[in-house]
Amino acid sequence: MSFRAIVFDAYGTLYDVQSVLALTTELCGDKGEAVTQIWRLKQLEYSWLRGLMGDYEDFWSITRSSLNFALKSVGVEPTRSLCERLMNKYLDLDPYPEAHAALSSLTQCKRAILSNGSTHMLSTLVHASGIAALLDAVISVDLARTYKPNPACYALVEQTLDIPKADVLFVSSNGFDVAGAKHFGFKVAWIQRAGPSTSQSDPRLGPSQLFRALRGRAEEFGQQPDYRVGTLTDVASLL
């Protein structure tokens, strides 16, 4: 199929949100894994709550509030120095290993990010990771003052790139984002990163397994992706 633009989600799709784990473990010891997973889950939950309440605060503020929640929930005091170190990791998340190669292979169409991240967070992140030059646009939901999966967020793609939604392929690893983008009218590719959350021989759920069980599956929402791929480099084959 021919697309004029391929638009990527950032967190969990181009960038590994689990790459904060090493730092949370360094700073929080054996509570680091729980902090990592609760932090991300509350980050998403707070974005949805803000969107539903119509009370917008940017993603940096949401990320800090969710970090405070995560630390307190496991009995760690959210001191200023601790939070600054952890928050700064969100400005320098690890890109997935294949991200550069995938973006470099898609020169026949416009390449963009659409993310819940604030304008400052995303600008800092794409420059720190060296992919800024591979993108035609980095679009923050700051412009819509709400969060995905609100249709106003996906509409920013058409407004920014001047390309109709029928000509856009949206790529995300997040089930809620896949559902939202498909409902809006994009063709959608789902990066299936999570894998199985448990094995039959060991059904116990640790923090990481619980996160994958909750966020790594397609949502039961009647909005299925058009394509399912394993890695970012598989996206080029869809063209």
Task: Just list the catalytic residues.
Answer: 9
The residue type found at 40 is R
| Residues shown for the chain | 239
CA nearest to 117, candidates 106, 107, 109, 128: 128
Pairing of strands 15-16, 187-191: unpaired
Is residue 4 within 8 A of residue 110, CB to CB? The reply is yes
Is residue 8 within 8 A of residue 112, CB to CB? The reply is yes
CA nearest to 112, candidates 162, 47, 57: 162
